[in-house]
A and B are shown apart, each in its own frame.
Chain A
């Protein structure tokens, strides 16, 4: 009997271990992180990966979600757009993640979109973008053009009295679409076509001398001129250097940028840029208790008190909190249930106001315009009254003004009010 007893105990023990193994396997919720950790975009995207990890860490310290721990699954799509789709498929089909936080450039988002729609995944996209899209499976927590570009142009027109416009961009989809919207908007506001100059330069462009001279010339026609810059990536550094060298001060020709934030400025001498503008939905310099706590949390997590915070980080923070709340509301991590719970979910912004998920899968955001200070931070000179709801389809483009996105009543991201047809997603 003794022997039997021993065997029995051993058997129970083994079974117990096995059982508890099953239990722990079930007790985690997998969270996909799809940001480039190498290649050209690594500079920007690594920060967002760390932000998600920080949020997961904090949530786990609070006891996890639905009684389970969150487990990050980090993959590296290496700034390679087709690889984004492969890695997304891996996250959804092999790792079976409940949610994914990821992508930066529009081209990477367009690359993963068919995968998320096919596998019915859930993606939180945290970067300002050109709009003209609404997917059932994506929540856009960055700004749409009406939450960044349009208010910035309005500010320059009304508060600064700008009459002549240079739209200067890098040659790819985001600047081209944004400039198309802005051009239509300016023309609708009565700006003459001769007072708008649009120009594109390649990625990584550095020979800015003639472009800057041309801007100077365009700006000396006796009307107040501003530059709206959608220049992306490291081409900004030589651009601003050349502006400084040719003595174009922000007092004469201000440059408002949509892709230059604290992170980008931390890499260069900001003194010649003082007074140039940026439009964002978040600035590190805005003092609120929530923002101070977030900055402290970031510095502790990353173990470097000099690291800056920026707008896409806040968008990631908002996206994560929205997802947590929706899961708690739905009491499930199943995509259909979470999506149903997500619309209408609210969470506070870091800079005040409430972010609310709208039926078009965009959120409400406050808009801020800041002037560059000598220390690379921003001095807020304008903010929107309250929050601005994100508009997926621009009202200023002839092709998209009749289109609505509504995932609650219409169940469609691309519904034409005139022809009354839902044409599905167009991820070309």
Chain B
């Protein structure tokens, strides 16, 4: 195992570890005090050491075989290892937050009272040291009864394989029962076997690794087919080289496939955001023909509502988002109704004036928010269940926040379709939008329907604002950055057609994300815009124009 960073003392460490596991603690009691004091003095060196020295101390500590070593190292990794300023004694603290801190004795792991935070100094870690600690702690976690902990431990260990780690993995393989953990260990052992001197062992390892899609495995295999600077292959045996080439190709094929899926998902998630911000507009602009320049600000109100709801229930961030959805709908919806009743209804049929008036409203709303919440961005906390990503395999992971927004868009879209197609108010809205005079003649209170329609569109803008608060900064200018996008989607999809907005938004999102890796974020957006302009030249009424006379009249 020539290239692995291995120390000669590692086998000794293994032996000690095995002894510590095998020999009952009672038997050590005679030497306990001696080992305690040496453990403490090694621990004490951490106070003054540089980061590179600390890594060495951690290694010495892990070899000491002291019963409390795991707890100490975990505390060190989690920034919970402190020393007391006046007597230089080292303690673990229960939690690094709060004042005073609760102390735990590093030897007995029993409570040792508490001390004010400023009388203690934290023993710091840096990235390199945390990496070392993580691998060291992983060695101990391998025996955990929880399969998930074992799996994480093996994955941590795979990041830096050395002789000792491989030996540990090999031992674990014999007793491991969980199939996923077993598979991970097999990958680790196969990775190590790639350096075996036996050709068959290497071939077997390649066969095992072939089914993996991990980038680390691919890189490791690719080393086998590389040439060293002098022109000779690093791998001498040709059959092994051929197998490795084959395996790398297979892995690359799968990785490309998964990366395409990822791009598609990125496109769909961006598309869902576009759809979400455009549906409200599709109703107000599409159905009523009102060019509402304040649409973006209605989204901003929704985002600020999320912030307000979170501030009102600081202990329940997880459900605050769910509470914010109806709250934002109501806030933005009522603002919309108010706008319609006080301004827009006097301007029906005068699109230019409506545009200017609503632009004015947008400025008023921005300034109002600036006066109430200040010009600074407000930080909306992302709840635990929306952060992180869903790991499907080594090559594909989907971030939760985007996933939830895709689902959320589908729900909102279906709900609106249902409201429009299945409810009385939906029927009224469709009737008024198709033929106002006829609807009025049939006894529909068109004025009331107008207000309700505008309120519905505005409310949905508010709901979109809740989603945006999870993706971008919540500030007074939030709306401005999205208003153009939402008009683009509506125009592209075909004015007055919800399905058009859905297809239009999703396809614009996908095209944008497909272009972005090649063209960069700025150019991709320009391409999309130019394509849209060209498209409008060919089909001025968008993807799904309204059919029949109703469409012509607009």
Contact = CB atoms under 8 A, between A and B. Distances in A.
Contacts of B477: 40, 204
Interface in A209-251: 209-211, 213-214, 217, 220-222, 234, 237-238, 241-242, 244-247, 250-251
Interface string B295-325: 0000000000000000000000000000000
Given A222-B219, A272-B387, A371-B126, A381 B521 contact: no
Contacts of B128: 160
Interface stretch (A92-100, A195-203, A344-352): A195-203
A171 interface: yes
A267 interface: yes
B335 interface: no
B125 to A, nearest CB: 8
A251 B473 contact: no
Given A238-B473, A267-B376, A246 B389 contact: yes
Contacts of A213: 262, 266
A384 B51 CA distance: 16
Interface in B204-244: 215-216, 219-220, 222-223
A379 B377 contact: no
A38 B522 CA distance: 27
B88 to A, nearest CB: 18
A42 B370 CA distance: 12
A245 B259 CA distance: 17
Contact of B124 (A40, A210, A237, A379): A379
Contacts of A268: 379
B388 A269 contact: no
Given A43-B375, A160-B128, A269-B381, A214 B471 contact: no
B516 interface: yes
Given A206-B473, A213-B266, A43 B376 contact: yes
A379 B402 contact: no
B131 A251 contact: yes
Contacts of A42: 375
B377 A374 contact: no
Contacts of A209: 266, 269-270, 399, 402, 513
A145 interface: no
Nearest to B402: A209
A50 to B, nearest CB: 14
Nearest to B133: A251
A241 B473 CA distance: 11
Given A217-B259, A272-B387, A200 B520 contact: yes
Contacts of A374: 79, 96
B521 A275 contact: no
B239 to A, nearest CB: 24
Contacts of B245: none
Contacts of A211: 516, 521
B179 interface: no
Contact of A234 (B223, B377, B471, B521): B377
Contacts of A250: 127
A242 B386 CA distance: 12
Given A245-B401, A267-B376, A171 B127 contact: no
A254 interface: yes
Assign chain A's interface to a size class: 35 or more
A42 B377 CA distance: 11
A204 to B, nearest CB: 6
A207 interface: yes
Contact of A245 (B220, B399, B473, B520): B399
Contacts of B79: 373-374
Contact of A247 (B377, B379, B389): B389
Q: Among A40, A204, A251, which residue has the most Cβ atoms of chain B within 10 A?
A: A251
B187 to A, nearest CB: 16
A301 interface: no
Contacts of A43: 375-377
Nearest to B388: A245
A205 interface: yes
A204 B481 CA distance: 9
B382 interface: yes
A210 B263 contact: yes
Nearest to A275: B127
B397 A246 contact: yes
B524 to A, nearest CB: 9
A171 to B, nearest CB: 7
Interface in A164-218: 171, 199-202, 204-207, 209-211, 213-214, 217
A87 B402 CA distance: 45
Nearest to A247: B389
A327 B86 CA distance: 46
Interface in B34-85: 51, 79
B377 A267 contact: yes
A209 B270 CA distance: 9
Nearest to A268: B379
Contacts of A267: 376-377, 379
Contacts of B262: 213
A308 to B, nearest CB: 14
A268 B472 CA distance: 12
B160 to A, nearest CB: 11
A38 B382 CA distance: 28
Nearest to B262: A213
Contacts of B430: none
Contact of B522 (A171, A221, A244): A171
Contact of A201 (B219, B388, B521): B521
B521 A205 contact: yes
A268 B380 CA distance: 8
B541 interface: no
A213 B134 CA distance: 24
Interface in A265-310: 267-269, 272, 275
15 contacts: A201-B520, A201-B521, A206-B472, A207-B471, A209-B270, A210-B263, A210-B266, A211-B516, A211-B521, A213-B266, A221-B219, A237-B379, A245-B389, A267-B377, A374-B79
Given A160-B127, A206-B471, A209-B399, 5 more contacts: A43-B376, A206-B473, A222-B222, A245-B389, A246-B389
Interface of B: 51, 79, 96, 124, 126-128, 130-131, 134, 215-216, 219-220, 222-223, 259, 262-263, 266, 269-270, 273, 375-377, 379, 381-382, 387-389, 397, 399-402, 471-473, 475, 477, 481, 513, 516-517, 520-522
Interface of A: 38, 40, 42-43, 160, 171, 199-202, 204-207, 209-211, 213-214, 217, 220-222, 234, 237-238, 241-242, 244-247, 250-251, 254, 267-269, 272, 275, 371, 373-374, 379, 381
